[in-house]
Amino acid sequence: MGAPMAANLASAGHEVRGYDVAGASAQGVAAHSSAPEVVRGADVVITMLPNGAILRAVAAEIFPEMQNGSVHLDCSTVDVEAAVDVAKSARAHGISALDAPVSGGIGGAANGTLTFMAGGDQGAFDTALPLFEIMGQKTVHCGASGAGQAAKICNNMILGATMVATCEAFALADKLGLERQKMFDVVSTSSGYSWSMNAYCPAPGVGPESPADNGYEPGFAAELMLKDLRLSQQAAEGVDAPTPMGALARDIYTQFVDNEDGLGQDFSAMLPRFSKMTRGD
């Protein structure tokens, strides 16, 4: 995700330096050998990291090297607590912070059509807005630090649950003898309309092109959906919010990723999973 985002910023004329532990590179981005080296003198530092623990570790490493008054823009999807704690640490180092996770997947990152949901102070948001406009098509300032992560977690809990329901419905339609295209034609223009159906249809050859048309090669991997669903339930437990559908979606993706063949597949590969099952499975 980070590489095409960085490439789009470089293509727009920004001086972009980059560092990735896995050695990923991006066109127009000057590669450096360490995180502290790459952040020195930068006005805005963007991170895209796997989880809250790694975000905390990287923040501790780079904040002492960042210049006073600069902005830390974190586009990772992590727990709200980690985002809030890292923002507090940034402020202690004289740095402004935004948690700004993204929606849109690898394709959105490459095409500059991501949606950013940002949490943090208005000044930092105003500084980062021209960069958001290069990397994405929509940006929402959701509130104080942590609000961006809260929005992402809620959004992806809906996405996970609706994808499960969409795949269940296609599998049921198959068994009822309803053609998938006819199913799509009805649902995509009726009350069952959803992003999972209309924009990212899990049935190959139906609707706009999606990972289903490429053997379920990940646009958004099942294990990443599982990560986000786990974050949603962690957040729900923290505020005593009932989320039974979110919890069930988490459990289904846990089974798919940990005990079946879901690891490394797109999250829409739930459709062939349900197609192989019976009601007693």
Cα Rg, the chain, nearest whole Å: 20
| Calculated CA dihedral for residues 237, 238, 241, 247, nearest 10 degrees | -30
Place of tokens 């790694």: 54
Cα 22 from Cα 42, distance rounded (Å): 22
Predicted TM-score of the model (pTM): 0.91
Cα 114 from Cα 98, distance rounded (Å): 16
pLDDT band at 22 (very low <50, low <70, confident <90, very high): confident
pLDDT tens for 242-281 read 999 999 999 999 999 999 999 999 999 999 999 999 998 8
Q: What is the pLDDT of residue 1?
A: 85
Which member of 88, 152, 182, 227 is catalytic? 152
Average pLDDT score over the chain: 96
Identify which of 78, 129, 68 has the alpha carbon closest to the alpha carbon of residue 99: 78
pLDDT tens for 73-92 read 999 999 999 999 999 999 99
Cα 211 from Cα 199, distance rounded (Å): 11
Contact 100, 117 (CB under 8 A): yes
pLDDT tens for 109-158 read 999 999 999 999 999 999 999 999 999 999 999 999 999 999 999 999 99
pLDDT band at 239 (very low <50, low <70, confident <90, very high): very high
Q: What is the pLDDT of residue 35?
A: 94
pLDDT band at 13 (very low <50, low <70, confident <90, very high): very high
pLDDT band at 106 (very low <50, low <70, confident <90, very high): confident
152 as an active site residue: the answer is yes
- Asked whether the predicted pLDDT for residue 104 surpasses 90, the reply is no
Q: What is the pLDDT of residue 23?
A: 82
Q: Which helix (H) or strand (E) holds 91?
A: helix 80-92
